[in-house]
Amino acid sequence: MEVLGEAEAFEWKIPRYADDFAPTIVPEPHTGQLVPARYLLTTKRIDPAITARLYPEHRLYWAEHAPFAVEAAHDVWHVRPGRAVWVPADQPHDVFLRPHDVANVTAFDARLVRVPWASTTATLMPRPQRALLEWGRDNGMARSSRLRLQRTVIDLVLPTSRSRLDLRIPRDLRLARLARSIAADPLRAHSLTEDAARLGLSKRTLTRRFREETGESIGRWRALACIRTALPLLADDVPVWMVAIECGYSTPSAFAAAFRRGLGISPRELFSPADGTDSPPAGPLVRPSFGSAVEFATYED
């Protein structure tokens, strides 16, 4: 399977920006068209060393096993098996993936595929859809058969609600710097008094504005960031009690309780559903206003 670019080791949870105060992702120029001519989509493996870029195609990021993160428009989206993230064409974004993890991106020709939403959106990614995408990698498939398969895949792209682990980055540059420092090391002791003084704000103003811009208190935002760092370990089958210690919890039960508050399920349920189906979506299904989630533009055979 083709890999985009050359791999380079880095810690996935630490954002890469031009500087700590950057209000938005600084993208590289447009890359070339990924989808072959006269087709609707194509799927490639993600390069762990990918940098922030603009793309001329819609992109659907999805995980095979371990979770990873996509940042776009002041949101850090959580991607895990059963859940994907759709990034529209020309939307600057960045991907944070551990070097040894395997993840995928499906690119859609924006000239031929239209969706009823304009911004970055979480979508469902059930196993049948993943299987169709994997099957579509077969280069021996006839063009007519491949296009029928691609249409089926596109019709299965359905948005879902945000997860609690889809963290918002404040637009205020000072608060964004604080949020990114917490995300980079959520276990580091943070003094609200020291943070406020360093940012030139009162404690009251800091806590109020952080909640206004993220929807969470600083403590809650930090707890959710900590849970996010646990997910790759859980995906690697590290015992829950060891993950709890790694995340700074005194007991596995305390970690499990915090995890359930954040996601609504236990750590074991997230990657090992008892019925063998995909993990439950983060919230109720949000369907488009018309029957099919995606429309196609007309194209010539």
Residue by residue, what is the 3-state secondary structure of 4-56? Answer: CCCCCCCCCCCCCCCCCCCCCCCCECCCCCCCCCCCCEEEEECCCCCCCECCC
* Residue whose pair of structure tokens reads 């493996």 in the numeric block: 45
Decide if 29 is inside a domain. Answer: no
β strands within 31-159, DSSP E: 41-45, 58-63, 68-72, 75-79, 82-87, 93-96, 103-108, 113-114, 121-125
Residues 230 and 263 in one domain: yes
Distance CA 38, CA 40 (A): 7
In a domain, 5, yes or no: no
Residues 135-141, mean pLDDT to the nearest whole number: 76
Given a cut of 90, whether residue 204 has pLDDT beyond it is yes
**200 conformational bin, left if phi > 0, alpha if psi -120 to 50, beta if neither:** left
Distances (CA, A) of 161 to 8, 84, 122, 123: 33, 11, 7, 8
If asked whether residues 214 and 125 sit together in one domain, one would say no
User: Does residue 138 lie within any of the structural domains?
Assistant: yes
Give the C-alpha separation, 197 to 200, whole Å: 5
Query: Are residue 224 and residue 143 in the same domain, yes or no?
Result: no
Residue with tokens 């960045």: 94
pTM of the model: 0.74
pLDDT of residue 81: 87
Q: Which two tokens stand for residue 22?
A: 């950057």
Give the chain's domain count: 2
Give me the pLDDT at residue 275, please. Answer: 33
Evaluate if residue 186 carries a pLDDT over 60: yes
User: Do 77 and 144 share a domain, yes or no?
Assistant: yes
Determine the average pLDDT of the residues in 31-59: 81
Q: Does any domain span residue 51? A: yes
The reply to whether 265 and 226 lie within a common domain is yes
| Residue 2 domain flag | no
CATH code assigned at 55: 2.60.120.280
Compute the distance between CA of residue 263 and CA of residue 278 in angstroms, rounded to an integer: 15
Question: In the prediction, which pLDDT does 228 show?
Answer: 83
Q: Are residue 244 and residue 104 in the same domain, yes or no?
A: no
Do 150 and 183 sit in the same domain of this protein?
Answer: no
Are 178 and 98 members of one domain?
no
Q: What is the mean pLDDT of residues 165-193?
A: 86
Residue 52 and residue 106 in one domain? yes
User: Residue 6: inside a domain, yes or no?
Assistant: no
Task: Say if residue 290 is in the same domain as residue 153.
Answer: yes
Looking at the structure, tell me whether residues 96 and 240 fall in a common domain.
no
User: CA-CA distance, 178 to 198, in Å (whole number)?
Assistant: 10
Q: In the numeric block, which tokens belong to residue 275?
A: 């019925």
CA atoms within 13 A on the CB side of 171: 4
Structural domain including 138 reads: 41-161+286-296
Residue 154 lies in a domain: yes
Tell me if 136 is assigned to some domain. Answer: yes
Q: Work out the mean pLDDT of the chain and round it to a whole number.
A: 76
Count the helix, strand and coil residues of the chain and give each as a percent rounded to the nearest 5.
30, 20, 50
Q: Judge if 194 and 252 occupy the same domain.
A: yes
CATH, residue 241: 1.10.10.60
